[in-house]
Structure formats: structure tokens, C-alpha cells
Amino acid sequence: MTGLRETIDPAEIAKFEAMADEWWDPAGKFRPLHMLNPCRLDYITRQIAGEFGRDLAAPRPFEGLRVLDIGCGGGLLAEPMARLGADVVGADAAEGNIHVARIHAAREGLAIDYRATTAEALAEAGEAFDVVLNMEVVEHVSDPPAYLAACHRLVRPGGIMVISTLNRTMKSFAAAIVGAEYVMRWLPRGTHDWRRFITPEELAALLGEAGFEVVDRTGFVFNPLGWSWSLSERDLSVNYAMTARHPG
Amino acid sequence: MKPDVLIIGGGLNGAALAIALARAGMPVTLVESRPLDTFTAEDFDGRAYALSLASKRMLAALELWPSMADEAQPILDIRVADGRPGEGAGFGAVHFDHAEIEEGPMGWIVEDRVVRRALIDRLGETPGIDIRAPARVVDHQTTASGAEATLESGETLRTGLIVACDGRESPTARRAGIHRIRHDYGQSAIVCAVAHERDHGGAAHQLFLPAGPFAILPLPGGHRSSIVWAERPALAARLRNAAEDEFLAALRPRFGDFLGPIRLAGKRFVYPLSLSLAERMTAPRLALLGDAAHGIHPLAGQGFNLGLRDSAALAEVLVEAARRGEDVGSPLVLARYGAWRSFDNTTTALAMSALDGLFSNDNPLLRLGRNLGLAAVERLPALKRRFIREAAGLTGALPRLLEGRPL
Ligand SMILES: Cc1cc2nc3c(=O)[nH]c(=O)nc-3n(C[C@H](O)[C@H](O)[C@H](O)COP(=O)(O)OP(=O)(O)OC[C@H]3O[C@@H](n4cnc5c(N)ncnc54)[C@H](O)[C@@H]3O)c2cc1C
Ligand SMILES: C[S@@+](CC[C@H](N)C(=O)[O-])C[C@H]1O[C@@H](n2cnc3c(N)ncnc32)[C@H](O)[C@@H]1O
């Protein structure tokens, strides 16, 4: 199959290009992702360990697994995966992000294959992975069904994709846009377009259409007292993730 | 690959942390300037530690407790009194009986050499610990992605995180520009073992004398106790070198005669007493732990207990971070340790200081006030139970190791 239509939204990519230098500043524009990181890494690592029978207490538990971090930004998730022993490809449509990610990984002594490319181009090239991480990207693409179809081709049969995004509820509107962009000024105004947010039901349906089987879902819940995030099976009202398998 | 963690200082806290991390699968390098066998020599240190229930649970989870258990004296009763030499206990005496909490004894008294031997044996047996001793760290440097320590031999060791367990003067913290809050109590502690005719029945005594606190800690066997006797430094130094008769003559009015005739049962040691609190527990690529973070007044025997609480929290934070692939020396990870520990450490240090200031004073009004205070504690069972649970280390959000669970 040839000629997959690119699903990148140039305006969205330009926004991320403009912030590229800030990826690794925990107090900078990507502070929400840094704060969310321990919680979502707990989810991701447990899903991978469970699916592939790995022991997280062992050294380099993900040795031998090929992982793609699609829309990797500065590599906030690609680096932990590499530390856990996985073979990691990090891909992002914004060149500036890839540049920053490469410099940071080199400084950390981590070998990560970073590429300025898109899901569609990778699928076209016939790449396949045991695990695809697809975190906080789908709300930024122009055509989610086409994007997820490309992602499906990137997961080898029997492999999994972990995907997270923002729910479209009044609470997420308040939290992500009013809270994070306007009140706390964590994010530049206009980083998110609430109308593009996707409800869990919509995401599950989209994943099904793309050929995935949803095997798990979780909410990420912010606790303002401890300034930390935790996982919740019930509360998917703001930020949530799903694990989907490519049956085969 | 650089090892994850480099520990500077192989005292009680450095050793305990190394064991906790290595057992959870995190390789560590431990650098100690003295040969390790000096620590277990009979006359190395006269201290005995009052280990809290939480500390004991942690030592059990690290499989250190079995080799100490036979030489640990359970504390069955704590008597706190405000008194002056030669006087009996004031009417405000408080009596903490372990029967008031369901967890069993409130703590255990274990001599320094017993704890050290258990730690050092376990250090040698635990895979994943690279021991450098004797070796002294003379310098260290940090970058955004790692740290490097230079040994006296000229060798440099690279790591992702340095943990300074180098004691209350912590040269490592000083090099990192961490300021300390210091207070000299103008007191020294005389520490020694005393043999007595009557059985102590597992009771620990804390007496607040005008020169400073005086503690009698029961040792195993029933007929020996360790004393911690705070005195003005000049007098303490004189007493260390005095003939046994003269020493005992000075001790008797403080010790009292409730345990029958007494005699010396070991060497006398003198330690200057001071408070030395680091202003921060972390700096880039650096965490402070134990006395390096907080050298406190030995009143109530919380020093090593606090250190173990640090180790339990730091080990949990680092091990969890490593298992999810985080960079264990990154500021975000270290901030979790700082947030978990600073409050507990500062409040404990200040509470001990305040108590000592309140009690080491002969002002009759203060004396009346604290007698009333102690009497109030005695009459309010709920408050008293809280004190007991506090002393047993059972309050606050507990790291897993302190609950006796492995990482
Ligand atoms: C009189 C007295 C009684 C006490 N009683 C109790 C009690 O009942 N209960 C209790 O819990 N606590 C008690 N404490 C407190 C307790 O002893 C301390 O909190 C504890 O020993 C501190 O251990 P540490 O490992 O943090 O520091 P330290 O024991 O000071 O160890 C620091 C180590 O670092 C090494 N070092 C230093 N610099 C370097 C370098 N550059 N390179 C390599 N190595 C280096 C040193 O050689 C040393 O071994 C008491 C203290 C005193 C003074
Ligand atoms: C909110 S960031 C998330 C970054 C990273 N996944 C994380 O969670 O830390 C979204 C990223 O997706 C990238 N992106 C958006 N659309 C993309 C596409 N179609 N293909 C690849 N990357 C894309 C953006 O450049 C941006 O870096």
C-alpha cells in the first residue's frame, strides 16, 4: 500500500516547534507533562510488563522489545523506555523537537533512534514495533481515524499501543484550558483546542475501527493537595489512557 | 555504564541505605574513609540506640534484625521525669507503658557494636554493593546529567546521584554550598555501661536535670544499663578521666539507688552535643541523608531512627523511579525525597531542641509549668497514646520499609 495521507496539522506542529527548547525544563511550558510523567510511566511500564511477561524489578526489563514513541516531543517517555532496556525509536513531526531530544539523550548517554518523521511515513516504510506509545498526540492531528489506522500498521500483530489524550468534558475544559493555559499559565494560550478532545467512548470506537482491541483503560487524576497525579479506574474525566492490542 | 548511586560515608546510615538499595536491585558504590573493621572493635563506640518499632520493622525487612534480636533489649516501659539530682521524681512524672499501644514493645535498645556488626556482615554478603574502604572522597563535581567524585588516590567515580551520608559535618554538603543551621547546646554527653544489682525490668528512664537530660537505657540480661549523661563540657571531660570511685560518686545522686549498688561496666565515652541541620536535603545530583542532613540532640534517641526513616523514603523514591525508567538523580525525583522528609526531620529536630531548652533550666516557674505539662500528658490518655506512637515511629505517611514490607 502506498500514498498514506499525512495527518499532521501544520499549525499544531508550528506551536510545538516554537516551544522545543523548553522540553526538559521541569518548570517550563511542559511542566504538566513532567508532573504527569511518574504516573503515566507507572501505567505504561505495568501494561508492557504484563503483556510481555517482564519483571520490572529486574535490571533492564524491556531488553529485546522494540518501542516506538510517536509524537515523542523532547523524549520524556522515550528516555525512560531506553533506560529500561528497550530498543527505542522516537518520532516527531517537528524537527526542532527531534533536535532537542537528540542532544538530551546524548548527554544522558542513551542510544535512541530519533527521527523527524510521521506515523504515516514510518508505516509506509514498513516499520513494526512490539509497543507503540501514542501519548497526548491524537488531539493534535488533523484526521484521527487516518492517524490511528497508520498507528495500527506500526504495531506488529500481538503487540500493543498505549494511547492517552484529554477527555471532552466540562472538567477537562476547566482543567486543561482555563486552568493550565489561562490561570496557571503552564501552557501558552491556544496549546489545546477543546473541540478536538476525544471522549473515551469515541476513542474506543476509533481504535476498534482501526483494527485494535482495547484491553485496558485508566484515568490520570490530579491531586491539588499533593501536586501529584494518580491512576484511577473510575475517573476518566480529564486525562485518560487506553491500552490496545493488535490481535494476531 | 555509570552506576546509579554513589554513597559517601559508610556509617550506620550509609550502610543501611546501601543494603536497602542493593536488595531492591539497584547497584551502589559505597565509599568509607575508615577500614570497616574499625567499627566493630569492642571499644569503638559506647553508644546504645533506642530503636523504634518502625526502625525494627525496617531492619527486619532488610534481614538485619535476626542477627541483632538476641542482643536487643525490648523497652517495656519509659519513665520521663523532671527532677534535680538527689530529689525523687517530681509529681509530673510520666509513665509510658507499652501495654497502651497494641503493637508490642515501644522500642529496643541495641548497642552500637551489635548494629554495626549486623550491617557490615550484610554489606559483604549483598550482591550489587561495590565497597571502597578505606577510601576518602576529597572532591566532587556535578553536571546536568551526572556527578563525579574524586578519591584521595586520584581515582574518579562517575554516577547519576551522590548520596552524602558523611556525618554532621558533611564535607559533601559544604562543597555543594548547602548551609547549615548550627546550635551548640554547651553540653557534652558522657556515655557508658553501668552494671547494677537489681533487674531493670526493661524500663528506660529519662530525667531532665538542670545541666541537661540524663537517660538510663536497659541493656540485655537485666543487670546492665547504658547511660547518656549530658553535662557541661569541662565537667564531662573531667569525669571521663576520673577514677572509677570518683565517677561513681558523681553518678549515684543522678542514677539513684532504685537498681541497687552500681559499678562501671565498660569504657566511658564523651560526645559533644550540638544541633546541625542542613538547610536543604537536596542539591543537583545530590541527596543528604542521616546526620549529614540533621545531626540532632540525642534526647529521646531519635538520631538513627530519623536516618533510617530517610533511608526508607529515599530507597523507595529511587527504586520506584528506576523501575519506571526515570533518571534517578534528576531534580524531579530528588524533590520527592525532599518533600517527603524535610518536614519530619525539621519538626523532630526542633521539638527535641525545644524540649531540652524547656527542661534544662532551673527556673522554678518553668519547672512548675513543665510539671503541669507532664502531668497533663499523664492524665490525657489520647495524647499520651499519641506520644507513644510518635516515639515508636508509627505516625506520618510511612515508606514501605518502615512497615516491614520489602521494596
Ligand atoms: C551520645 C549520643 C547518643 C546517641 N544515641 C542515639 C540513640 O539512642 N538512638 C538513635 O537513634 N541515635 C542516637 N544517636 C545518634 C546516632 O548516633 C547518629 O544519628 C548516627 O550514628 C549517624 O549516623 P550517620 O551514618 O548518619 O553518620 P556518621 O556515623 O557520622 O557516619 C559518617 C561516616 O562518613 C565517613 N566519612 C566522612 N567523610 C568522608 C569522606 N570524605 N569520604 C569517605 N567517608 C567519609 C565517616 O568516616 C563516617 O563513618 C546518638 C548520638 C550521640 C552523639
Ligand atoms: C503534547 S506533545 C506530546 C509529547 C510526548 N508524546 C509526551 O507525551 O511527552 C504532542 C507532540 O506530537 C507531535 N505531533 C503532532 N502531530 C504529529 C504527527 N502527525 N506525527 C508525529 N508527531 C506529531 C507534536 O510535534 C508534539 O511534539
Q: Which residues of B101-119 are buried (b: 16+ CB within 10 A; e: fewer)?
A: beeebbbbbbbbbbbbbbb
User: What is residue A209's three-state secondary structure?
Assistant: helix
Q: In angstroms, what is the C-alpha Rg of chain A?
A: 17
**CA–CA separation, B24 vs B160, rounded Å?**
17
Q: What is the mean pLDDT of chain B?
A: 84
Average confidence (pLDDT) over A234-243: 94
Percent above pLDDT 70 for chain B: 79
Residue window 308-337, chain B: list those with CB within 8 Å of chain A.
320-327, 331-332
The DSSP 8-state label assigned to residue A96 in this structure reads H
Of B323, B325, B332, the CB nearest to A26: B332
- Output B197 or A7, whichever has higher pLDDT: B197
Is the CB of residue A75 less than 8 Å from the CB of residue A51?
no
The DSSP 8-state label assigned to residue A181 in this structure reads I
**CA–CA separation, B241 vs B294, rounded Å?**
30
Which residues, in sequence order, are CB contacts of B175 under 8 Å at separation 6+? B139, B140
End-to-end CA distance of chain B: 24
Task: Name which of B287, B320, B397 is nearest B13 in CA terms.
Answer: B287
B304 CA from centroid of ligand 1 (Å): 8
Q: What is the pTM of this model?
A: 0.89
- Output A28 or A138, whichever has higher pLDDT: A138
**CA–CA separation, B118 vs B120, rounded Å?**
6
User: What is residue B267's three-state secondary structure?
Assistant: coil
For residue A7, pLDDT beyond 90: no
Q: How confident is the model at residue B366 (pLDDT cuts 50, 70, 90)?
A: very low
Is the CB of residue A7 less than 8 Å from the CB of residue A145?
no
Phi, psi of B384, rounded to the nearest 5 degrees: -65, -40
Residue A19 confidence (pLDDT): 83
**CA–CA separation, B277 vs A163, rounded Å?**
46
Residue B370 confidence (pLDDT): 47
Q: How confident is the model at residue A225 (pLDDT cuts 50, 70, 90)?
A: low
User: Cell 493488535 belongs to which residue?
Assistant: A246
Task: Name which of B254, B245, B31, B262 is nearest B133 in CA terms.
Answer: B31
- pLDDT tens-place string over residues B180-236: 988 888 889 999 999 999 999 999 888 877 777 888 999 999 999 999 898 999 999
Residue A121 confidence (pLDDT): 97
Task: Name which of A193, A240, A238 is nearest A15 in CA terms.
Answer: A193
For residue B32, pLDDT beyond 90: yes
Contact call for B25 and A57, based on CB within 8 A: yes
Percent above pLDDT 70 for chain A: 91
Domain ranges of chain B: 5-182+274-403
For residue B369, pLDDT beyond 50: no
Average confidence (pLDDT) over A6-20: 85
**CA–CA separation, B178 vs B288, rounded Å?**
10
Q: Which residues of B touch A42 (CB under 8 A)?
A: 324
Residue B368 confidence (pLDDT): 44
Which residues, in sequence order, are CB contacts of B147 under 8 Å at separation 6+? B6, B140, B141, B158, B159, B160, B161, B162, B285, B286, B329
Domain B5-182+274-403 listed as CATH 3.40.190.10 = no
Residue B387 confidence (pLDDT): 56
Contact call for A107 and B326, based on CB within 8 A: no
Of A42, A81, A108, the CB nearest to B327: A108
Q: How confident is the model at residue B374 (pLDDT cuts 50, 70, 90)?
A: very low
Cis before residue A32, ω within 30 degrees of 0?
no
The DSSP 8-state label assigned to residue A140 in this structure reads G
- pLDDT tens-place string over residues B236-251: 999 999 999 999 999 9
What number of residues does chain A have? 248
A115 interfacial to chain B (CB closer than 8 Å)? no
Of A38, A57, A107, the CB nearest to B326: A38
For residue A136, pLDDT beyond 70: yes
Count interface pairs A-B at CB distance under 8 A: 43
Average confidence (pLDDT) over B128-150: 95
Task: Name which of A77, A89, A94 is nearest A141 in CA terms.
Answer: A94
- Mutation probe of ligand 1 site: the residue of B55, B111, B157, B165 with most atoms within 8 A of C-beta: B165
Q: Chain B residue with minimal CA distance to A36? A: B332
Residue B100 confidence (pLDDT): 56
For residue A188, pLDDT beyond 50: yes
What residues does ligand 1 touch, defined as CB less than 6 Å away? B 8-14, 31-34, 47, 49-50, 136-137, 165-167, 171, 189, 191, 228, 271, 290-292, 298, 301-305, 307
Is the CB of residue A165 less than 8 Å from the CB of residue A139?
yes
Residue A9 cell numbers, joined: 496539522
C-alpha distances out from residue B269 to A218, B36, B46, B194, B287, Å = 59, 20, 6, 13, 31
Residue B89 confidence (pLDDT): 45
Residue B365 confidence (pLDDT): 44
For residue B56, pLDDT beyond 50: yes
What number of residues does chain B have? 407
Contact call for B324 and A58, based on CB within 8 A: no
The DSSP 8-state label assigned to residue B278 in this structure reads E
Q: Most A CBs within 10 Å: which of B323, B328, B332, as the mutation test of the A interface?
A: B323
User: Cell 495500527 belongs to which residue?
Assistant: A152
Q: Give a three-class secondary structure readout of B339-394.
A: HHHHHHHHHHHHHHHHHHHHHCCCCHHHHHHHHHHHHHHHHCHHHHHHHHHHHCCC
Contact call for B145 and A107, based on CB within 8 A: yes
For residue B117, pLDDT beyond 80: yes
Q: Which residues of A touch B324 (CB under 8 A)?
A: 38, 41-42, 45, 56, 80
For residue B91, pLDDT beyond 50: no
A4 CA from centroid of ligand 1 (Å): 66
In A136-238, DSSP assigns E strands to 155-166, 213-223, 228-232
User: Among the atoms of ligand 2, which is closest to the Cα of residue A191?
Assistant: 1
Q: How confident is the model at residue B377 (pLDDT cuts 50, 70, 90)?
A: very low
**Helix and strand tally (H, E) in chain B?**
11, 21
Residue B162 confidence (pLDDT): 98
- Output B42 or B230, whichever has higher pLDDT: B230
Q: Chain A residue with minimal CA distance to B339? A: A226
